[in-house]
Amino acid sequence: MVGQKTRVISMKTVRRIYSAAWALHAPRVESPPGNLNFIRYPWIVSNEKLKSEIGWEPSADTRQVFVETMYAKGLVATPPVPAPAPPAVA
């Protein structure tokens, strides 16, 4: 979506590159290399309890949040489309 090419490389190489980038305080390296596992093994959670117990509804879907984040980082030129307003709760 942001026009960047992808490459297939080993996790060992990724860890080495990321460790060096973290140690050198490279731009856009926002967390230590130990956090790579959160990308490699993403959390899968349910928001059903939030919805059923307190009536929470998300204000945007995953794609909208991704576009908003990339726009904030200057990686896409088009601003995100606002999510439609949630229906009023009586």
**pLDDT tens for residues 25-44?**
999 888 899 888 888 887 88
**Dist CA 27 CA 35 (whole Å):** 16
Instruction: Specify the pLDDT at position 20.
Output: 96
In percent, the amount of the chain with pLDDT more than 70 equals: 90
In the structure, what pLDDT confidence band is assigned to residue 47 with cuts at 50, 70 and 90? confident
Tell me, what's the pLDDT at 50? 86
Distance from C-alpha of 52 to C-alpha of 46, rounded to nearest angstrom: 11
Q: What is the average pLDDT across 66-77?
A: 87
More confident residue, 79 or 18: 18
